[in-house]
Every structure is written in structure tokens, then in C-alpha cells.
Copies of this chain bind each other. A is one copy, B any other.
Amino acid sequence: MALISPSRRLRRTPFSEGVERAGVSAYTIYNHMLLPTVFESVEADYRHLKDHVQVWDVAVERQVELRGPDAARLMQMLTPRDLRGMLPGQCYYVPIVDETGGMLNDPVALKLTEDHWWISIADSDLLFWVKGLAYGYRLDVMVDEPDVSPLAVQGPKADQLMARVFGEDVTKLRFFRYGWFDFEGHSMIVARSGYSKQGGFEIYMNDWDTGMPLWDALFKAGEDLNVRAGCPNGIERVEGGLLSYGNDMNRDNTPHECGLGRFCSTQTAIGCVGRDALLRVAKEGPAKQVRPIAIEGEIGRCDRAWPIYAGGKLRGHVTSAAYSPDFETNVAIGMVRMTHWDAGTVLEVETPDGMRKATVQDEFWI
């Protein structure tokens, strides 16, 4: 691995001081911002995440804020998911598509009120698309990036830790619901959500200068819980089938190809700019789809799409892969053509270290 050159353009977060103090050893860049990827080692971080509780600097989940009378209309223009039944207090995972049905982002939307929404984004400047649409349609809506920096608390002891800092009520939150909770006089949104399958919360920290006090409070309260600094884990997220925009999908893919067809209500999501294109896709179904794939043998880091072959022909690409200590195999996410996507299908994956035997799985490792 090479070094990363620091510059203002790779933005620090309100929690960067804590991340550095905790001994971060590697980063990625996400939404022009630093996202830790490794503390002790990917394997040690993985073990700890599954056994204890971690605090994650996920400030890179920047918010696109919509405010104004046309906010709800604009929100529905962005996604094929039907938002009519959505209530304040709910979080929705929403594929965002362009006019051709191509994925632009796969964020979580929060409805604050009918005319006030947050979109907690994956790695693309979704703000630019939303601003462009709002301007082009002359909508009565303000679109901006507010001072909100999510901090995640993930792992089996997350409820215990969060109760100590935000009070017992926070543990009553249901999955993908949020509430307003107080920290030292600051009211902030806390949701039961996060980019792991170990359970936990995301705190939508909404005042830059409160970042480190919140970070410190969580570590102080969690000392006996063995709390540590962590980050989205490259092994655990592949085991759990959590997709990563830019890795496992991009603008070339429809939500259906990403296995997100259940979030596309093309009959009822009136106003979605990609609706016509996706209606067509929904009729026939996609010709390729994201699938869980087990790969045998030694593999290196998946830093590019690895071609998948069967019968000497290209059948798709592996886009994320890692060795799983718990499942004792290489777990992978790949996009596979329909002729070869059935569970049990044997494939060959071309890694930089050579061809590897692989098998399509029935489901992810959860």
C-alpha cells in the first residue's frame, strides 16, 4: 500500500483528532473526506466489532438537505422507491437514479417533516444532481450540505453504550427509525442504523465543535465495555452483503442489477425521473445481478474489477472480496450474468495472482 498525501481538499472531520489519537493506520477518501479503514488490522478490527462495540467516524456520510414547499416532490423525483407512506421518524434506503435508471448513489433518506429531508449519501456528489434538477425545474426548495457529521456506534454492546450517553430511551428505537436525543444541551438525531450487520446506531452530530466532546464521552462511558475506534470493515460488510457505491455498482447499473428491485415501485413512484427507464427493466428483469460468491485459494486485495469466466467466456466481475476468518473462505460480491447466477454455479475468477475457482452462493454470510 502507498501513502496518502494530506491536503485541505481531503477534508478532515470533527472527529479526526480522536481517530488519530486512536492510532488509525489507513484511510480511504469518500465524499472528498477522510474515512478510516484500518486501526489495528482489518482482521483484529473485525473480531472486535463482532464481540464488543466500536465508535466509527462516518462523517463522510455527508447530508444533502432539502428544505421548502417542493422538498417532498424533489425527493420523489430522485428515487423509484414510493415515499408516499413515509413518516417523520423513519429512515428509508433509497436508490437514486438518473433518467436512464442508472445508479447515482444509494443513500439513506430521513424525513424530518414534509418539507424538510436529509439524504445521507454514499460516495458521489449527489448534491450536484439534486441542485441541477431543482434549478432546472424551478422548484421552491433549498438544497445544501448542512453541518451534520454522522458518528456510528456499532457492535453487540452498542445498546449498552448508547444508553449510558443518551439515556435508556435510545434503546427503544426500532430498526431504521430515528428520534431526537440530547447530548450536553445539543439536540441531535439518533437512528438505529449503520453499515454493519452487528447492530447499532448512527448519531447525526450537528455541531462541528461538539464532535470531540461526544467522541470522548462515548469512550469514557464505554471503558468497561472495551469500546474502541473502528470503521466500516472490509470483511464484515462483504459477509453481510452490504453494497458499496463505486465498488459494487455505479452509474452503469440499474437498481435491479444491484438486487434492489424491491425498492423500485415503478407503478406508483410517480415523478421519479428514472421511472420510465426502470419500468422497462422491471418488466423483463435484469440480465445480470449482484450475487454472493465464494472464492477458493489465496487472493490479493480487490482493487479493480476481477473478470469472471465460465466455459472460456466472460460472465461478470467480482467487485469486492476478502478472506473471512469466521466462514473460512474468501467472501465476495460480484455482478454475474443470468446464465450463471444460480446458487451452486461454478465459475473462474481472474485475480492478479491467477485464476481461482469460485461458486455462486445462495445468500450472503449472515
**Using a CB–CB distance below 8 Å, which chain A residues touch chain B?**
1-10, 12, 24-29, 32, 37-38, 98-99, 104, 123-133, 135-137, 234, 244-247, 273, 301-305, 319-320
Contact of A38 among B5, B301, B303, B319 (CB under 8 A): B5
Q: Which residues of B contact A27 (CB under 8 A)?
A: 2-5
Q: A122 CB to closest chain B CB, in angstroms?
A: 10
Given contacts A129-B128, A133-B136, A137-B136, contact A4 B32 (CB under 8 A): no
A303 touches B1 (CB 8 A): no
Interchain CA distance A98-B129 in the complex, whole Å: 12
Chain A to chain B contacts (Cβ below 8 Å), 23 pairs:
A2-B26, A3-B3, A3-B27, A4-B4, A4-B27, A5-B38, A5-B234, A8-B246, A8-B320, A9-B28, A9-B123, A32-B124, A32-B246, A99-B131, A124-B128, A128-B128, A128-B132, A129-B131, A132-B132, A132-B135, A132-B136, A133-B136, A135-B136
A26 touches B9 (CB 8 A): no
Q: Which residue of B lies closest to A12 (CB)?
A: B304
Apart from A1-B4, A129-B132, list 12 A-B contacts with CB within 8 A: A4-B4, A5-B26, A5-B37, A7-B28, A7-B244, A9-B245, A12-B304, A104-B128, A124-B125, A125-B125, A132-B133, A133-B136
Q: Which residues of B contact A8 (CB under 8 A)?
A: 246-247, 302-305, 319-320
Interchain CA distance A135-B137 in the complex, whole Å: 9
Q: Which residues of B contact A5 (CB under 8 A)?
A: 1, 26-28, 37-38, 234
Given contacts A8-B320, A9-B247, contact A273 B135 (CB under 8 A): yes
Q: Which residue of B lies closest to A130 (CB)?
A: B132
Q: Which residues of B contact A301 (CB under 8 A)?
A: 6-7
Given contacts A125-B124, A131-B98, A136-B132, contact A24 B2 (CB under 8 A): yes
**4 closest A-B pairs (Cβ-Cβ)?**
A136-B136, A132-B132, A9-B246, A6-B303
Q: Which residue of B lies closest to A231 (CB)?
A: B5
Q: Which residues of B contact A247 (CB under 8 A)?
A: 7-9
Interchain CA distance A131-B245 in the complex, whole Å: 19
Q: Which residue of B lies closest to A273 (CB)?
A: B135
Q: Which residues of B contact A273 (CB under 8 A)?
A: 135
Interchain CA distance A27-B137 in the complex, whole Å: 40
Q: Which residues of B contact A124 (CB under 8 A)?
A: 32, 125, 128
A3 touches B6 (CB 8 A): no
Q: Which residue of B lies closest to A124 (CB)?
A: B125
Interchain CA distance A49-B8 in the complex, whole Å: 24
Given contacts A104-B128, A131-B98, contact A25 B38 (CB under 8 A): no
Q: Which residues of B contact A127 (CB under 8 A)?
A: 128
Q: Which residues of B contact A38 (CB under 8 A)?
A: 3, 5
Interchain CA distance A133-B131 in the complex, whole Å: 9
Interchain CA distance A4-B303 in the complex, whole Å: 11
B12 touches A28 (CB 8 A): no
Q: A96 CB to closest chain B CB, in angstroms?
A: 10
Q: A336 CB to closest chain B CB, in angstroms?
A: 16
Contact of A6 among B1, B133, B319 (CB under 8 A): B1
Interchain CA distance A61-B12 in the complex, whole Å: 23
Q: Which residue of B lies closest to A144 (CB)?
A: B251
Q: A245 CB to closest chain B CB, in angstroms?
A: 8
Contact of A10 among B3, B12, B28 (CB under 8 A): B28
Interchain CA distance A4-B25 in the complex, whole Å: 9
